[in-house]
Amino acid sequence: MIDIEDAARLIWRNQSVDKGENVAPVDAERLRRNIVLYATLAMVMVGVVVAALAITPLALRLRDEAQESLRHELTLKMLAGGEVISRAIGLAQQVTSRTVIRQKLESYNRGEVGLEDLRAFTADKLGDALNLSPDMMGVVRVAADGQIVASLGQVTGISTARAAEPGLHVRLEQGESGAVLVVQAPILSRGGRQEGVDLVAVSAASLHAVIDQVRGLRGRTEAALVQMGASPLVVMASDSGFLLDDPTLILSGEALSHSEVRMTDVAGVVHAASGLPGTDWVMVLKLPSQEVTADVDRLLIWVGIAVLGAVGLGVLGLVKVLRPLTGVFIVQTTDMNRQITEMQKAQSDLAARSHDLALSNAELQEYAYAASHDLQEPVRTIISFAQLLARRYRGQMGADADEFIGFIIDGAERMRRQINDLLSYARLGRGEQVMEAVDMEQVVVEVRQALSAALTESNASMEVTALPPVRGNREALSRLFQNLVGNALKFSKPGQPPQIRIDASSVDNWVHFRVADQGIGMAPEYHEKVFRMFERLHAGTQYAGSGIGLAICRKVVEMHGGRIWIESQLGEGCTFHMLLPAA
């Protein structure tokens, strides 16, 4: 290898010989600096161009996918809101479809029955309608002549001024306990004549929850429910200061007429709107444009930093290699370009897979929650009407019919328990979890109170030592210990009162809890299996339950960053161990 100074002297000698004159020798240090400078500039330019060509298409694609993801999420919330309205209308139609009460109302309209007799009869027959659903708040029945026939439940503040309007209507009113959905359902005779109207008040909590979920889709999001018409108005909003501006009104009209999610960007604010099926209501959200692609922008910044870092390392390496070089300037860039290309491809694949996985997980959780939530209503309907059959026709259709009705009620009750447990499992970790210092001794006191009837009935003894506080979600921890104590009561040895002991010890920044019992225990090969969803070691007729309780326990502990495991032998009881973060 020729030294840089030797190369400079050789160049100077050749120039002197060729031209036959005396010239100054080449400055070796200056030549060194120029070579390094130009090579560095070339390397930086190549790196910037490659990064721009690689990142720009990725950025555009990811930003488009972020907007499409927002559109998809809003579509899901629209369907959830429409389902709330559909359930409310379904409840109202169940109330109006009762034949015996309708016939009595027809007799009143014909003058065959007095108003007081009609009121007494209707109040008696319509009373069990309030048990159709936990969301049912009250019913007001108005006859065709405007007389109020029945007023049951929480109906204070419900106006009957619009009762004479024909057809089915849904509106939002302020009841005695807050906003309620009022479904105005006509009562029609067999000939199609309107005999009266039912004003069914249904809790608006589910609809408000949907609005809150829309509000939580992105950072600074404003969400509202707008009723369109001659004078559009905001019927429900996440923020009392929600402004119904011109872009919002125009977009809401388009969404209602096209029955799809409409989006536009006006002055740096993204407006999105989607109509609720079967109503003239539109779900609207507004958020700053940068919030839509905030996650993508952060990802692109980190990708850019990584690319710049790679280019910087390449420049440093190039400088280090070039300094001792002389007349021949050879830079091997094949491997570097290949590594940059592979890194960019890996980053692109990682970004795409991360986005797909996040979207898939969100859709799966939303589906599990919606499915378990929406299944409750048909199960309640089955149970209600089966119990109604049992009360009204027991002994009239034969012993076999009574037994079959009992089977229906028992099966539906088991299904309801499974759905409720599945809904509890899906709710864990949804939304923002409040983490605070939790007094575990008070939590165990509340668990003892909640299970007091079962503890007394089984003559169980429950020993609790001093329990250190932990940092976590109080409601979830209460559910955890209630499930474990309930498990100990359920799987106690026949003929022996259950004995339960709860103690704890501090280990560094953790608290080690132990819940021990003297029950039937389990073989070691089942210690991991019991934490899976719907896993049962015994027949459903032997021990009640849905097989979700211990899965909920594991999810609660892992939600707190801890760990849960079992020590047990068959016939020797169980000890559940948990590590939870100390307060």
Query: Averaged over 389-412, what is the pLDDT?
Result: 78
Q: Which of 215-219, 236-240, 503-507 has the highest mean pLDDT?
A: 503-507
Give yes or no on whether 97-206 and 436-581 have one common fold.
no
Q: Using the structure block, give the residue that is written with the tokens 């014909």.
A: 110
CATH superfamily of 97-206: PAS domain (3.30.450.20)
List b or e across 342-370, with b for residues whose CB sees 16 or more CB atoms inside 10 angstroms.
Answer: eebeebbeebeeebeeeeeeeeeebeebe
pLDDT (tens digit per residue) in 455-489: 999 999 999 999 999 999 898 899 899 989 998 99
Query: Averaged over 249-271, what is the pLDDT?
Result: 82
| pLDDT, position 442 | 94
Which architecture does CATH list for 436-581? 2-Layer Sandwich (3.30)
| pLDDT, position 278 | 67
- Cα 389 from Cα 404, distance rounded (Å): 11
Segments making up each domain of the chain, as ranges: 4-62+295-370, 97-206, 375-427, 436-581
CA atoms 415, 419, 422, 428: torsion sign: negative
| pLDDT, position 543 | 62
| pLDDT, position 426 | 63
**Tokens representing residue 459 in the block:** 């003559």
Residue 130 gets which letter from DSSP?
G
CA atoms 381, 385, 390, 392: torsion sign: positive
| pLDDT, position 576 | 95
Residue 160 gets which letter from DSSP?
-
Query: Averaged over 247-276, what is the pLDDT?
Result: 82
Neighbours of 55 (CB within 10 A): 18
| pLDDT, position 510 | 95
Sheet strand arrangement including 222-227: 233-237, 222-227, 281-288, 269-275, 262-266
Sequence-distant (6+) residues with CB within 8 A of 134 are 203
Give the number of C-alpha atoms closer than 13 A to the C-alpha of residue 536, restricted to the C-beta side: 14
- Cα 504 from Cα 415, distance rounded (Å): 36
For 81, the enclosing helix (H) or strand (E) is helix 28-96
Query: Averaged over 343-357, what is the pLDDT?
Result: 81
Residue 81 has pLDDT above 60, yes or no: yes
Confidence of residue 215 (pLDDT cuts 50, 70, 90): low
The fraction of the chain above a pLDDT of 90, given in percent, is 13
- Cα 536 from Cα 561, distance rounded (Å): 26
pTM of the model: 0.41
Closest by alpha carbon to 209, among 54, 84, 22, 376?
84
Query: Averaged over 32-46, what is the pLDDT?
Result: 73
| Cα 24–chain centre separation | 78
**Tokens representing residue 85 in the block:** 């309205």
Query: Averaged over 253-273, what is the pLDDT?
Result: 82
CA-derived radius of gyration, the chain: 36
| pLDDT, position 17 | 41
Strands (E) across 156-207 are located at: 169-175, 178-188, 194-203
| pLDDT, position 516 | 95
Q: Which of 23-27, 90-94, 99-103, 236-240 has the lowest mean pLDDT?
A: 23-27
Please spell the DSSP secondary structure of 480-530, one letter per residue: HHHHHHHHHHHTPPTTS--EEEEEEEEETTEEEEEEEE-S----GGGTTGG
Report helix, strand or coil for 140. Answer: strand
Q: Using the structure block, give the residue that is written with the tokens 């003058």.
A: 111
| pLDDT, position 545 | 57
Top-confidence residue, 552 or 414: 552
**Tokens representing residue 246 in the block:** 């011109």
Cβ contact 440:528 at 8 Å: no
Average pLDDT, the chain: 78
- Cα 472 from Cα 475, distance rounded (Å): 9
CA atoms 293, 299, 305, 311: torsion sign: negative
Residue 28 has pLDDT above 80, yes or no: no
pLDDT (tens digit per residue) in 156-204: 878 787 777 888 888 877 777 677 888 888 888 888 888 888 888 888 8
Please spell the DSSP secondary structure of 398-441, one letter per residue: -HHHHHHHHHHHHHHHHHHHHHHHHHHHHHTT-S----EEE-HH
pLDDT (tens digit per residue) in 518-573: 999 888 888 888 888 766 665 555 566 566 788 889 988 998 899 999 999 988 89
Closest by alpha carbon to 563, among 518, 502, 511?
511
Top-confidence residue, 441 or 391: 441
Top-confidence residue, 369 or 319: 319
Top-confidence residue, 543 or 103: 103
